[in-house]
Amino acid sequence: MIKKFIRKILGVKDPEQDAAPSKKNKPKVLSAKEHGIDPDLVSNNAVRVTQTLQENGFKAFIVGGAVRDLLLGIKPKDFDIATNATPEQVRRLFRRAFLIGRRFQIVHVMFGSDLLEVTTFRGEAKNEAPKDEHGRVLRDNTFGEQYEDAARRDFTINAMYYDPATQTVLDYHGGIADIRKKTLRIIGVPELRFREDPVRLLRVVRFAAKLQFSIEAETRKPIPVMAALINNVPSARVFDEMLKLLMSGHAMACLQQLRKEGLHHGLMPLLDVVLEQPLGERFVTLALANTDERVKQGKTVSPGFLFASLLWHQVVEKWEAYKTAGELSIPALHLAVDDVLNTQSDALALQRKIGSDMRDIWAMQPRFEKRTGKAPYKLLENTRLRAGYDFLLLRCASGEIDAEMGEWWTAFMEGDEEERAYLLTVKPKSATAQAAPTKKRRPRRSPNRAAKPKPE
């Protein structure tokens, strides 16, 4: 104590304090036997990028979610690379490499359709970095050492580095222990880290639902209090994160986790519609289950179809309101679609292509009701028929409309000319029921009328 007091008076640094950071900056190094990563799960192009950088005198590692998934025995969808090479140095080493990003500059390296994201080690966050009035970092192109880069990452399970050449994992913040405990823990002070980038509020929910991890108590504590900060994030970033959440293969689990963490209210109009509209609950559940199944099977998922499903019953509600006000059915539908798309475009920055796909799917639904004459043949020529038809089947499965309509269109689409001609002569159940003759009832006798005597 006396020695520390004297050093403080004389302005001499405590050697123990100097030693502490250096010790903290050294990662735990795990060998192939200790971490158990299967090299066959690693992308050949990711190995190629790290190898090229290392051969040119730079450090290079696979990092982030890819390492997390590899440690869990899952083949990653995307591979990110971290290096001490600057973005310009990276760009010069690869034929198809493109600089992107404002907040922090990164490089996209392309191999055919395969895209790998290469980032330079980020340095310690600077207080003078531009921020908005809520503390969100707007721009920060500070480069630094690997241990600083690890400290800048969001969660411990995403702050590990894998070197394919040596098959070693570098762990700076106990990520491997948290993976084994199935725990999500943010690096640093939770409130500060969420304020720096409120999108982390959505990310922690997505990881918890997707990985079935619990959120560490200190990490969870500020989440409901800071939910409103998401409103300050550019809508395009919120949309990207929302798309990742809904196309994670665990969409319904993610939405349930959002409700559990108190993030469903006011986060965006879309979530309020999905989670709180009883009319569309079964429809939405089926749509998300269908999406999850396609993701797990490795099939493509159309964002337009997904968002059309989530917002359909909002369209139906407005459609009925316009018809009640006196509009004809088809014009009323188009007005309802305009209202919903305008609202959601402002909230979610829906891309024009996605909005166009949603509009086509919705506008096609009344056309399925026309099952006479040339109308069904004309619908077969529509380039968006398959998406509209799948949407129709979803409506049938949810009980919104009679399953007979979906069965009729399935038979019509799969049938030959003779079968189609026959189907056009078959009246829909509803029409048959209306046209069915009713039994004639004997007229009731008036109680005041005297009964006629039987003839003798």
| pLDDT of res. 434 | 37
**Do 317 and 177 share a domain, yes or no?**
no
Residue 413 lies in a domain: yes
| pLDDT of res. 325 | 95
Q: Which of 158, 181, 204 is the last residue of a domain?
A: 181
Residue 83 has φ and ψ, to the nearest 5°, of: -150, 165
**Is the dihedral angle over the CA atoms 150, 119, 176, 183 positive or is it negative?**
positive
Catalytic choice (69, 149, 154, 292): 154
Residues of the chain above pLDDT 90, percent: 61
| pLDDT of res. 380 | 95
- Residue 451: pLDDT above 60? no
User: Residue 445, Cα to own-chain centre: how many angstroms?
Assistant: 70
| pLDDT of res. 11 | 46
Verify whether residue 149 is a known catalytic residue.
no
| pLDDT of res. 274 | 64
| Band of pLDDT at residue 101, cut at 50, 70 and 90 | confident
Residue 438 lies in a domain: no
Catalytic choice (69, 80, 149, 178): 80
Residue 353 lies in a domain: yes
Amino acid at 146: Q
Which residues have CB under 8 Å from 193's CB, separation 6+? 154, 186, 187, 200
Question: What count of other Cβ atoms lies within 10 Å of the Cβ of residue 294?
Answer: 17
Amino acid at 49: V
Residue 140 lies in a domain: yes
Q: What phi-psi label fits residue 215: left (phi over 0), alpha (psi between -120 and 50 degrees) or beta?
A: beta
CATH number for the domain including 138? 3.30.460.10
Cβ atoms of residues 121 and 148 within 8 Å:
yes
Alpha-carbon gap, residue 130 to 125, rounded angstroms: 11
Catalytic choice (78, 240, 272, 339): 78
**Do 173 and 309 share a domain, yes or no?**
no
Cβ atoms of residues 205 and 163 within 8 Å:
no
Q: What is the per-residue pLDDT across 194-233, written as a single tens digit (0 to 9) for each?
A: 999 999 999 999 999 999 999 999 999 999 888 888 888 8
Residue 78 lies in a domain: yes
Q: Which residue has the tokens 């679609």?
A: 337
| pLDDT of res. 278 | 65
- Closest to 189 in 3D by CA, of 157, 221, 211: 221
Of the listed ranges 87-101, 160-174, 289-303, 437-451, the one predicted with least confidence: 437-451
CATH number for the domain including 405? 1.10.3090.10
Verify whether residue 338 is a known catalytic residue.
no
Alpha-carbon gap, residue 67 to 75, rounded angstroms: 10
SS3 20: helix
Number of domains in the chain: 2
Amino acid at 289: A
Residue 442 lies in a domain: no
Pairing of strands 114-120, 28-30: unpaired
Angle at which helices 329-348 and 235-246 cross, to 10°: 110
| pLDDT of res. 123 | 87
**DSSP assignment, residue 98?**
E
Please state the length of the chain.
456
Residue 126 lies in a domain: yes
338 vs 258, residue with greater confidence = 338
Verify whether residue 78 is a known catalytic residue.
yes
**Do 7 and 147 share a domain, yes or no?**
yes
Q: Which of 131, 151, 181 is the last residue of a domain?
A: 181
- Residue 411: pLDDT above 70? yes
Alpha-carbon gap, residue 429 to 373, rounded angstroms: 18
Q: Which of 126, 159, 181 is the last residue of a domain?
A: 181
Residue 320 lies in a domain: yes
**Do 17 and 152 share a domain, yes or no?**
yes
SS3 190: helix
Structural domain boundaries, residue 366: 303-427
Residues of the chain above pLDDT 70, percent: 80
